[in-house]
Amino acid sequence: MSKRELSGLTDQELLEEAKKAKSAAIIDAALIGFLIGVVFYSVINNTWGFLMLIPLFLAYKLFNKPRHNARELEALLRERNLK
């Protein structure tokens, strides 16, 4: 959602979007942790190879997901004194 779409939401809808964003961040963190764990397991078992690069790439993509929507949502919540 863009800033314009976010500003058109009601207070309750904004709070629901904030909950969705928070749960998505937790899920992303869990996936990144799992993928890094797979890499550490591969390093410990000396299984260097192409298959070890896949979890690293996926963790990188999850870690660098655009967060501009979350920043806009937080700013709008603060502006409306909802958080």
Structural contact between residues 31 and 62, judged by C-beta atoms closer than 8 angstroms? yes
pLDDT in tens, 18-75: 898 889 889 988 998 998 888 888 888 887 777 788 888 888 888 887 776 788 888 8
- Distance in Å from the first CA to the final CA of the chain: 19
Q: Output b/e per residue, 37-72; b: 16+ Cβ within 10 A.
A: ebeeebeeeeeeeeeeeebeeebeeeeeeeeebbeb
Look at residues 26, 9, 27 and name the one whose alpha carbon lies nearest to residue 17.
9
